[in-house]
Amino acid sequence: MRVIVIGGGTGGMCLAHGLRRAGIDVRVFERHRTRTDGLHGYRVGIDPDGSRALKACLPPEVYDLFVRTCARPPETFAFLDERLRRTLTVPLRPPADDVNDEKSVSRMTLRQVLYTGMADAVRFGSDFTHYERHPGGTVTGHFADGTSATGDLLVGADGTGSRVRAQLLPHARVEDAGIVAIGGKVPLTDETRALLPEDVFPGIGLVLAPHGMACILHVMEFPWGPDGSSPLPGDPTADHVNWGISAHRDRFPAGVTGFDGPRLVAQTLAMTPRWSPALRRLFTLTDPTSCFPITIRTSVPVPPWPTGNVTLLGDAIHTMTPGQGVGANTALRDAHQLVRTLTAGGSLEAYERRMRDYGFAAVAASKARTGGDQLVHRPVVGRLALAGQRAFLRTVDRVPALKRRFEASLYTSRGGDREP
Ligand SMILES: Cc1cc2nc3c(=O)[nH]c(=O)nc-3n(C[C@H](O)[C@H](O)[C@H](O)COP(=O)(O)OP(=O)(O)OC[C@H]3O[C@@H](n4cnc5c(N)ncnc54)[C@H](O)[C@@H]3O)c2cc1C
């Protein structure tokens, strides 16, 4: 069997590793010209679903490189108000084993790790345009530079704007979820360290602010420390704080998604005048080249389609909002499932059925947590919703039994107890 993978992202590269290890002929076609093109370096949380998939698909030395290039795992999850006053802090579970723990990785680094040892399998600068099916059961992928590639199965792993999906399922829709986010990175220095509350520093901070605004804070400290260097050759990743503000799209000026780094920092400051001076100072110290805007999108569930020699995985079929932090993990889970299907003689139809079930369940759960139609975004009701949310979090903070239950809820849908 010859497999053509369109898109060398998280899911596509995990799939390619898994197939290659099983001796299946696989080629990946990636539109970016180099290994590091066009990528935002935000933090991705890898859960047990994601780690299980990576461990099963990657050669052991590449999985080991992935583990060694993760930041230290978060120890706490702190909820705060916009003045950085704590409403709830939940201690996170200590690392279990190298699959069943939560990992923090820089997206850029993960991408580099996934390209390791795959130079001959990936063709960069290949912008997929369309596919063509042949009567004998083969399929050809065509690229903007006039080249093409033929195989027995074509997998669309080409992300939210998937052209493979557009041709295979022209009725499938991806919608604006009504939320815009701005993200950035601040180098970790003595000054920036001192700006973060002590509850946030060991882990993850989530600021819930008026007008439906939120800000996520991740402290990313790497095992090689401030003076060392990443075990990944050429990886410039160093200790930093990753922040991301989000709000209903109506709170942003038109054209914000076209703003450059300095304007995005200025926009963030303009939207947070009454926030804690420490947090605003952190925004000011952001490396503007690391700043990026995102329109959050979500997919609409697609009814089953006739299985053929073209299939999909990851964001290409079930783009979701970052509400649960499982978009990449679900793409990895798909890749793992597809490898198992193709190597164990399973049915592609069963892969697609299962993937649609858990994929669109994650889409719905993610949208319920992060979506423009939540109460907090409404003018008057929003204030009451925020007050209710804060009262709930403070109560949970004070009652140990509630806190334990809340802690457990953070781990549902992370795949800890799941069979592959
Ligand atoms: C700010 C932010 C934070 C996030 N945090 C998390 C998190 O903590 N945990 C989590 O699980 N998920 C997270 N996600 C989601 C996660 O990043 C995505 O769900 C995941 O990357 C999807 O993987 P994928 O392989 O499907 O697509 P991608 O990784 O997007 O890969 C698609 C690839 O296809 C290529 N491509 C596109 N079009 C073509 C074409 N025409 N021809 C050839 N190649 C093409 C692209 O260049 C890209 O390399 C986050 C997302 C954002 C925006």
Q: How far is CA 270 from the centre of its chain?
A: 27
Residue 268 clears pLDDT 90, i.e. is over it: yes
CA of 363 to the centre of ligand 1 (A): 15
d(CA 222, CA 183): 20
d(CA 246, CA 209): 10
CA distances from 39 to 18, 86, 175 (A): 23, 33, 22
pLDDT digits (tens, 9 = 90+) for 374-388: 899 998 899 999 999
4, 6, 10, 311: residue to mutate for ligand 1 pocket, most atoms within 8 A of CB: 10
Please report, rounded to a whole number, the percentage of residues in the chain having pLDDT higher than 90.
84
Q: Which residues line ligand 1 (CB under 6 A)?
A: 6-12, 29-32, 42, 44-45, 126-128, 157-159, 163, 183, 244, 294, 314-316, 322, 325-329, 331
The H or E element containing residue 15 is helix 10-21
pLDDT digits (tens, 9 = 90+) for 196-234: 998 899 999 999 999 999 999 999 999 998 888 899 988
Q: pLDDT band for 97, please (50, 70, 90 cuts).
A: confident
Helix ranges (H only) for 229-299 are 261-270, 277-284
Locate the ligand 1 atom nearest the alpha carbon of residue 47 and give its number. 11
With contact defined as beta carbons under 8 Å apart, do 83 and 207 qualify?
no
Q: How confident is the prediction for the chain on average, in pLDDT?
A: 94
Q: Taking residues 325-334, report their average pLDDT.
A: 97
Locate the ligand 1 atom nearest the alpha carbon of residue 314 and give its number. 26
